[in-house]
């Protein structure tokens, strides 16, 4: 199920280390849940425009930010989407969070409006080897 970004009794709480898929108007944005309402995600240094994200094509470097899920999602729907848990065990929660915290504030090579934001958080949850497996089996639709 997909949930609007409102904190209420009906909204399940994600667990630290969960992958969050945010349904923005023209694409899905991905984040990693850190706990206490915060996520880590890749974005342009000046921030992403959720009102019309396709106005700007961002390539090259992106910044890793820790922000409130409700601020990142705005009024768009989001869901926990740990899609590869059936295929590969995630890293221990403490390691996922430790790895993610090491990226906060840093620039990473990324195409924010492509699939790189998903690959970034997926690597944090599952480790770097999952990307190679994903591409080898053509599960992610990413040219490798």
As annotated, the active-site residues are 29, 117
Question: In this structure, are residues 112 and 64 in contact, taking their beta carbons and an 8 Å threshold?
Answer: no
Half-sphere exposure of residue 54: CA atoms within 13 angstroms, side-chain side: 5
Which single residue is written with the structure tokens 């849940």?
A: 33
19-23 β-sheet, strand order: 3-4, 77-80, 19-23, 28-35, 38-43, 61-68, 107-109
Report the alpha-carbon distance of residue 143 to residue 24 in Å, rounded: 23
């Amino acid at each position: 199920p997909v949930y609007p970004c409102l904190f209420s009794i009906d909204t399940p709480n994600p667990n630290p280390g969960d992958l969050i898929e945010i349904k923005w108007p023209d694409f899905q944005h991905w984040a990693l849940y850190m706990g206490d309402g915060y996520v880590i995600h890749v974005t342009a240094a000046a921030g992403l425009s959720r009102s019309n994200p396709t106005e700007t094509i961002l390539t090259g470097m992106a910044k890793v930010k820790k922000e409130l899920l409700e601020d990142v999602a705005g009024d768009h729907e989001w869901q926990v989407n740990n899609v590869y848990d059936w295929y590969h065990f995630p890293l221990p929660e403490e390691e996922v969070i430790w790895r993610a915290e090491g990226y906060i504030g840093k620039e990473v090579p990324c195409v924010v409006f492509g699939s790189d934001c998903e690959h970034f958080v997926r690597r944090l949850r599952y480790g770097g080897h999952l990307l190679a497996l994903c591409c080898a089996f053509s599960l992610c639709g990413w040219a490798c």
